[in-house]
Structures are given as structure tokens and as C-alpha cells.
Amino acid sequence: MPIDNYSIATALDDNRDAIEAYLTDDYDLIERYRNVFESLPREWSSDKIKSELESASYPGALPIDLFDTASSLIETHEESNHWESHEAVNDWARDILRDVPVLAVDGSELPPTTQYNLPVAYIQTAWCLNYHHPDGKITRGLDGKLLTPDLISAESANGEYRFIDSKLVGHHRFAHEGKKLITELQSIASAYEEGELDHRPVVFYDGPLIGSFATPLKPETRDRYLETLSNIVAASQHHKIPLVGYVAGSNASELVKMTRLLLQEEFGDSPVLADSRILTELMSPWGDTTIPFASRRDGSVDALETTYKGESYSFKNDLLFSYLKVPPGTGLDRIEFPGWLIDAAGPDGYDSMYDYTKEIVRAEAAIGRGYPEILQQADSDAVISQQDRDRFTRILGRWAEENNVPLEWNAKALSKERRRR
């Protein structure tokens, strides 16, 4: 049965006061934070902030050297002030992206089959490399993997039996995406080094490079996630290919946490707000970013270390972030990136590799009308439809029949199948 529209509307009416309070109660606090954010670079130095916060293991964020040369937390995007149509946005973005290879990877999954007495799952990773040539050159591909029962089952706490754990499919998918991204990154790095590409490629990672999401997981699972992220970031630094983790609609709060610790008397007992709620009104409608900060969110940052190509890498104090404002909506997106981008010289017209990467991100978001076009393409290629799911089931059944594998329908699934015919 469909949802009850009347009941939902009535419940919203009954809870209007609570909803409005949630949305408006923090206005005064937001304004106080906003005043501090505006004055921060004028009244503090990076050394002074670090000194004040040295006793805190995870103060949220720490400034980098660029903080001392900034007059504001906001870096404005002057070009956008002259745009009067989306065609102007597109024209600007196409000029920025022309002949710049941009890569993205995304994945999807089929959960363990329940139709048969054999639980198997399937994951696939899509990759897309847009060369931004005038002739529209794009290379794309899919890389799939079958997950057999031994890969998606876990042992019970008492060790007496094994059970199918569907969460393991997501774990395998994450690692599969990471390996594919590294493989494609290595490929475009070789092409650039051999002179096959005129401009340095940029790699987009769909999601955060800071693995806080893995903190609540079991230690062995958490370590696998962080190992994947560490290898991705290390590959970027080793091959000198810019990498950005893109988080749409960020609710992170590193800058607010840093400010609460710096000004405990004023903010110490206040709620922790999302950085975006403070920053968005300080930014112009399109393309502004914040100056970069180093993330010191939690222990997941300290755990970003690995050995890649025989070299040791640690990103404990070297995972940076900035916020980006691109419409639609008033929220902010977030880009996370390795610190080497700040220190590396940029191509002609850019002071650093970070400035180059940031402009490519803006241009991709412009073409994608608020979300990077390359990530949209990879997501579209990776998605597994209901038709794909049904096809997978049929292929599995046909394979079992042709190979005399004793595959049997689950009674409940068979009943559903008969009703749908």
C-alpha cells in the first residue's frame, strides 16, 4: 500500500513548532560565530592558534602557512561576478577544462541473492576519463566482481556457525573502487609522464578522504577502509596527480570545533554547529571557497598511513580541506585533498597545484549545474538497475542448470515470482 499522505501532512502540522525551533533557534549563535570567523585571520596567527590548541589531540582543524597571508577565510571567485546566464558559466568552464583529463570512479552492488539456496553478491566499479577534447573524447569502462559465499559470510560470536553478512558487500565494494581508482590513476600518470597528455590530469573521488565514517566499525573492518583511503592518497602524492575527495552538502564542523577551543569562555558550552551554517552567508553566490585548513577531526586522520611503491607515507597532519559554494541551494560542498597540492607549483597561470585543482573542481561543478559532471557520469555508469538485478538472477539460474549445480528456489521467493507472472 502507498504511504498515507494525510497522516504525514497532519504529523508535520502537529510538529511545526519543533521544526521551526530547530531551524531558527541558533540564529544568534550563528551570528556570533560569523563575527569571529570574519576577524580570525586579522587577530590570530597560525602559530598562535597552534600554540593555544597544542594540548588538544583533535581540535577539529589547524591552520596552515597560507593562513598568515590571508586577509579573510573566504577566497572570492571574481569571474562569477560578471556572469548573467548559465551559458556564460558554461563558456567559462569549457575554457578552464579544455584538454584537461579528469577521472572519476564510482561503484554499485547487488546484495546477496535470496531467491536461491546459494547466496552470492556482485559489485561493479565504473570509471570515466573525460579528456575535454573539442572532439568529445571520453573513455569509460566497467569492472565487476562476483562475491561468493565465503566472501560475504562471517563467523558467529561463539564460533559455532557462519552467517551471510550483507554489510560485507559494501566493504568489498569500497576496496574494489579504491583499487580501480589507483589503477586508472597510475595509467593516466604514465600517459602524462610520457607526453601523451598536454595537461596534468585531476582525479575526483566521490566522498571524503577523511575516514571518520569508519570509526564505529570493528577494528579489522575500520583498518581495511582506512588502508584503502591511505593507498589512494599515497598514489596521488607518489605520482603527483591531483586528487580531490568531493563531499556534497557537507555537515562537517572542524572550524567550529577549533573556534570553540580557542574561545572557550564565549563558545565552550554552545552546541556544535556545521561549518557551512556559519560560512554560507560570508560567501558570494557562486564559486567562493574557504582558505585550506588541515583536518584534525579524530583518530582516523592519524591512521592514514601506508607503504606505496616501497615508500612510507603518513598523512597525520597533511589531509586538508576547503569549502566550496556552488548553487543550487545555500549549503556548502567540501573538497578534501593531500597537502602536497599546496606545496607543488601549478601549471602556467596557477600559483600552486591546489589553485589548479580548485579551478578544475569549480569548472566541473559549473558544467554539472552544482555537482561535478565527471562524478555524475561515473555514477550513471555504475548504477545497477532493477532490470540488471533480474538479469543477474536469471543468469545465475541458467548457469546452475547448464552445469548441473543443485541450485534451488527459496520458497518465499518462488511464491513472489509466481504471483508476478
Are 67 and 291 within 8 A, CB to CB? yes
Instruction: Give the torsion sign (CA, 381, 289, 245, 308).
Output: positive
Q: What is the pLDDT of residue 42?
A: 93
Q: What is the pLDDT of residue 420?
A: 46
How many other C-beta atoms can be found within 10 angstroms of the C-beta atom of residue 144? 14
Q: CA 93, CA 326: separation in Å to the nearest integer?
A: 13
For residue 375, give every residue at least 6 positions away whose Cβ sits within 8 Å of its Cβ, in sequence order, or none: 104, 106, 204, 206, 246, 364, 368
For residue 266, give every residue at least 6 positions away whose Cβ sits within 8 Å of its Cβ, in sequence order, or none: 32, 36
For residue 20, give every residue at least 6 positions away whose Cβ sits within 8 Å of its Cβ, in sequence order, or none: none
Q: CA 113, CA 413: separation in Å to the nearest integer?
A: 10
In a structure prediction context, what are the per-residue pLDDT tens digits for the chain, which is 421 residues long? 567 776 777 877 777 766 665 655 578 899 999 999 999 999 999 999 999 999 999 999 999 999 999 999 999 998 888 887 888 888 999 999 999 999 999 999 999 988 888 899 999 999 999 999 988 899 999 999 999 999 988 877 777 778 788 899 999 999 999 999 999 999 999 999 999 999 999 999 999 999 999 888 888 899 999 999 999 999 999 999 999 999 999 999 999 999 999 999 998 888 899 999 999 999 998 999 999 999 999 999 999 999 999 999 999 989 999 999 998 766 899 999 999 999 999 999 999 999 999 999 999 999 999 999 999 999 999 999 999 988 988 998 899 889 988 888 764 444 444 444 4
pTM of the model: 0.89
Instruction: Give the torsion sign (CA, 79, 85, 86, 90).
Output: negative
Q: CA 79, CA 90: separation in Å to the nearest integer?
A: 12
Strand, coil or helix: 123: strand
Q: What is the pLDDT of residue 413?
A: 43
Q: What is the pLDDT of residue 412?
A: 43
